[in-house]
Chains A and B, each alone.
Chain A
Amino acid sequence: MFDFLHKYASPRNFYDFAGILIPWLAGVTVVLLAIGLYQGLFLAPPDYQQGQSVRIMFIHVPAAWMSMFVYMVLAGAGAVGLIWHLKLAEMTAAAAAPIGASFTFLALVTGSLWGKPMWGTWWAWDARLTSELILLFLYLGFMALQAAIDDPKRAARAGALLALIGVVNIPVIHFSVQWWNTLHQPASVSSIAKIGAPAIHPSLLWPLLIMAIAFTVFFAVVLLMRLRAEILHRERYTHWVAERIKS
């Protein structure tokens, strides 16, 4: 398996492969976003309690899901880099961080914009909101660490350790609404008890899921873009990079 990984996860092959993949995935993102926005803004009905403000959900929930998913990608890549010294994994962790931070920021901002009219406050120090804020700090800490250490190998190792310690926060975010009394309501879609029967009507669930897939593919596009730049940078003294720059 290791030989296989080495062949196809070599920065050079990956660079070319990502170059082919990016335009296709970008196209998929645009189509999914168009469908999701049309469904979310025009087809989805207002909520029986929250009225039109429920449409914030189609941004807020996918952003919040992505904030956790990207963190798992970051930590997973960090672990792979730590164990197998796979350069591509180290670069993936570094490239994922700013994207994850931006999704976390978006989840917090839209949550605030939703909380003000519905709950009556922009912010509350309840367990869900606080743990999501800690996630943002974890991303920022990881990025600061990467920027502070010049040697890419040491930076990757330190970052991976921080990322792995921070993994504790992910189940805390997810289960915070069950473990403690919070202002934030329990999960509507992703709780195990609700598989097959989410607490969201299909007319509201579909745009939510489509937007979530759109965000995921979008993440892949930006991650690949950042990875390509990172590969060029790290391999800047190699022959193959020089070849590709000439053309």
Chain B
Amino acid sequence: MKPRHKKLIAVSGGVTLLVVAGLLVLNAFRSNLVYFRSPTEILSGEVSTQGVLRLGGMVDKGSVKKIPDSLKVEFKVTDFQKCITVRYEGILPDLFREGQGVITQGRLQPDKVFVADQVLAKHDEKYMPPEVANSLKGKAGPKSACETSL
């Protein structure tokens, strides 16, 4: 075997090993790389609710209540299995909407209300003009996940 071929095998072998090792390590740290938790995970006690955590899900339709003359707002976050009420005071991002994704950072109170100090909007990967979006409407799902099924 030519030395060059040996080196080719050594290099490709090394790369393969590194990739496998990297993937294994990443898999092990998977849970630590999670940016937010779902309402089900939080309410079931799967994750520690001590200290600051991030709660992510959909803003339940019809759940947003803005308190007049203030920046205070209350809404429900759902993963279509469980719901958590979130209280927040501050400016909401432009994409904060009912029926859209949201990630809130804060603390879970003993009464299971989540008091957030930061609200981030999470959007999906769909991009289209408004006319197309309008023509797709009408197939919308049930109004509120929190009020109906739960």
Task: Identify the A interface with B (CB < 8 A).
Answer: 45-51, 53-54, 57, 79, 82-84, 117-121, 124-127, 164-165, 167-168, 171-172, 179-183, 185-188, 199-201, 203-204
- B120 and A167 form a contact (CB under 8 A): no
A185-B34 contact given A48-B132, A79-B11, A82-B11, CB 8 Å threshold: no
Taking each of A83, A119, A204, which has the highest tally of chain B beta carbons within 10 Å of its own beta carbon?
A119
Shortest distance between the CB of A201 and any CB in chain B (Å): 4
Binds A, one of B14-22, B64-72, B107-115, B141-149: B14-22
Contacting A at CB under 8 A, from B76-115, are 91-97, 100, 103
- A201 and B33 form a contact (CB under 8 A): no
Q: List the 5 closest pairs (A to B, CB-CB), nearest first.
A: A120-B93, A48-B133, A45-B129, A168-B22, A201-B128
Task: Identify the B interface with A (CB < 8 A).
Answer: 4, 7-8, 11, 14-15, 18-19, 22-23, 26, 30, 33-37, 56, 91-97, 100, 103, 118-134
Shortest distance between the CB of B56 and any CB in chain A (Å): 6
**Alpha-carbon distance between A216 and B36 when the two chains are bound, in angstroms:** 35
> Mind listing 27 A-B residue pairs with CB under 8 Å?
A47-B130, A48-B129, A49-B123, A82-B11, A83-B4, A119-B121, A120-B93, A120-B94, A120-B96, A127-B33, A165-B18, A171-B19, A172-B26, A180-B30, A180-B34, A181-B36, A183-B35, A183-B103, A183-B122, A185-B124, A185-B125, A188-B127, A199-B124, A199-B125, A200-B127, A201-B127, A203-B129
- A120 and B127 form a contact (CB under 8 A): no
Shortest distance between the CB of B102 and any CB in chain A (Å): 10
**Alpha-carbon distance between A121 and B120 when the two chains are bound, in angstroms:** 7
Closest chain A residue to B6, Cβ basis: A83
- B15 and A46 form a contact (CB under 8 A): no
Shortest distance between the CB of A209 and any CB in chain B (Å): 13
Shortest distance between the CB of A37 and any CB in chain B (Å): 18
Interfacial chain B residues near A188, Cβ < 8 Å? 125-127
**Alpha-carbon distance between A164 and B15 when the two chains are bound, in angstroms:** 7
Partner of A185 from B4, B26, B123 at Cβ < 8 Å: B123
Partner of B34 from A118, A181, A199 at Cβ < 8 Å: A181
Closest chain B residue to A78, Cβ basis: B11
Partner of A200 from B35, B36, B126 at Cβ < 8 Å: B126
- A120 and B121 form a contact (CB under 8 A): yes
Shortest distance between the CB of A148 and any CB in chain B (Å): 23
- 7 further A-B pairs in the complex, CB-CB below 8 A; given A49-B100, A164-B11, A172-B26: A118-B95, A120-B119, A120-B121, A121-B93, A124-B35, A167-B15, A204-B127
**Alpha-carbon distance between A141 and B119 when the two chains are bound, in angstroms:** 35
- B4 and A181 form a contact (CB under 8 A): no
Interfacial chain B residues near A119, Cβ < 8 Å? 93, 95, 120-123
- B120 and A183 form a contact (CB under 8 A): yes
- B130 and A45 form a contact (CB under 8 A): yes
A201-B132 contact given A118-B94, A119-B93, CB 8 Å threshold: yes
- A181 and B56 form a contact (CB under 8 A): yes
Interfacial chain B residues near A187, Cβ < 8 Å? 125
- B123 and A118 form a contact (CB under 8 A): yes
**Alpha-carbon distance between A168 and B134 when the two chains are bound, in angstroms:** 42
Shortest distance between the CB of B92 and any CB in chain A (Å): 7
Taking each of A84, A181, A203, which has the highest tally of chain B beta carbons within 10 Å of its own beta carbon?
A181
Taking each of B122, B126, B127, B133, which has the highest tally of chain A beta carbons within 10 Å of its own beta carbon?
B127
Interfacial chain A residues near B120, Cβ < 8 Å? 119-121, 124, 183
Shortest distance between the CB of A224 and any CB in chain B (Å): 26
**Alpha-carbon distance between A127 and B132 when the two chains are bound, in angstroms:** 32
- B15 and A50 form a contact (CB under 8 A): no
Interfacial chain A residues near B22, Cβ < 8 Å? 168, 172
